[in-house]
Amino acid sequence: MRIGIPAETRPGETRVAATPETVKKLAAKHQVLVESGAGVRASYPDAAYEAAGAHIVDGAAAFGADMVLKVRSPDGAERARMRPGSVLVGMLNPFDTENLAALAGAGLTAFALEAAPRITRAQSMDVLSSQANIAGYKAVMLAANTYQRFMPMLMTAAGTVKAARVLIMGVGVAGLQAIATAKRLGAVIEASDVRPPVKEQVESLGAKFIDVPYETEEEREIAQGSGGYARPMPASWMQRQAALVHERAKLADIIITTALIPGRKAPVLIGEETVQAMKPGSVIVDMAVEQGGNCPLTELGRTVVKHGVYIIGEPNLASLVAADASALYARNVLDFLKLVIDKEDRFVIDREDEIVRATLVCADGAVLRS
């Protein structure tokens, strides 16, 4: 099979879907066509791919392969370069029905890796986790870089400096890594989430959980989420959470928000009145910015100062750690390919496999998921 690795073209996207490490494994069985320069922004030069057994080609050849490995879903121009009947694997945004319809219309067999179920067998191919983990780390780095004080407590001859207080809103994969990273830097950390199992995880990392009690059975039931993901909480609970968070935010130096609900706009967790009440010079990193933001004052792609608070709206934080983000993503892809390439090295679709079924979003000209 010919496997193509095109360069990503979306603005700000620095990652690449295969690295020399994964190409070496693929090239043992397949013809691997890497577009010249595809890995450059992630510090993987053409020569490293060549040494791993890839052919360095132009974009037309990479997109013209039997199977194309991508980070982001191809845009219209890229789709037009792909052959009907070819296979596409990438983060295709399974909630974007318009995009899926376009992929199906182009006759592609497409796998959206974000749609893999959160089960143990899928962990090694879990792109949401591998990338959120990196993004959570980078969010703390960005915050520390903007924050004009120390993170750890320091006792010096010139006096004592207090440890920074960090508040993490939403403790999935990114939030847990943000807690761990801020902890390593010596901060004092509090965190909030809707899902009950999170409390124990937060505490095991040495942070304090902000308990927002459930007052009705309905609240408790919704808070369980579904498939490990959160569901929108009733307004009554959101109001109680906002009141508690408002008080904690007044004391915080850094807030990192990561709260998401699959397929929906991100919930608003830090309103303008809370920003107004925060200390001057404090920092918010809104990791949900691409889904509308957890703070209404966040601006996509910009750092703004509102009421004396720095609000960072940098999207795609994983792309700022391009080499490692690509390395982990490429391994996720390689592991996924084991499910769709058989022992004779042919492409197969095993619809009995729940990971294949969940990720297969387009086949035979139709969208298989909405």
Part of the chain binding ligand NAD (CB under 6 A), chosen from 39-47, 71-79, 102-110, 163-171: 163-171
Q: Per CB under 6 A, does 126 bind ligand NAD?
A: yes
Quote the CA–CA distance of 325 and 102 in Å, as a whole number: 27
Choice among 75, 229, 264, 351 that is catalytic = 229
CB of 150 to ligand NAD, least distance (A): 28
Q: Per CB under 6 A, does 316 bind ligand NAD?
A: no
Known catalytic residue at 211: no
Q: Per CB under 6 A, does 249 bind ligand NAD?
A: no
Choice among 15, 72, 73, 129 that is catalytic = 129
Known catalytic residue at 129: yes
Closest residue by beta carbon to ligand NAD = 172
Task: Give the burial class of 273: count Cβ atoms within 10 A of its Cβ; 0-12 exposed, 13-18 middle, 19 or more buried.
Answer: exposed
Choice among 118, 264, 302, 351 that is catalytic = 118
Choice among 58, 75, 123, 220 that is catalytic = 123
Known catalytic residue at 126: yes
Interior angle at CA 143, CA 152 and CA 178, nearest 5: 75
In angstroms, how far is the first alpha carbon of the chain from the final one? Answer: 30
Q: Per CB under 6 A, does 20 bind ligand NAD?
A: no
Known catalytic residue at 240: no
Among 8, 35, 190, 193, binds ligand NAD (CB under 6 A): 193
Q: Per CB under 6 A, does 114 bind ligand NAD?
A: no
Q: Per CB under 6 A, does 170 bind ligand NAD?
A: yes
Q: Per CB under 6 A, does 123 bind ligand NAD?
A: yes
CB of 266 to ligand NAD, least distance (A): 8
Nearer residue to ligand NAD within complex by CB, 26 or 168: 168
Q: Per CB under 6 A, does 355 bind ligand NAD?
A: no
User: Which residues are at the interface with ligand NAD (CB under 6 A)?
Assistant: 118-120, 122-123, 126, 128-129, 132, 169-175, 192-195, 228-230, 233, 258-262, 267, 269
Catalogue the active-site residues. 118, 123, 126, 129, 229
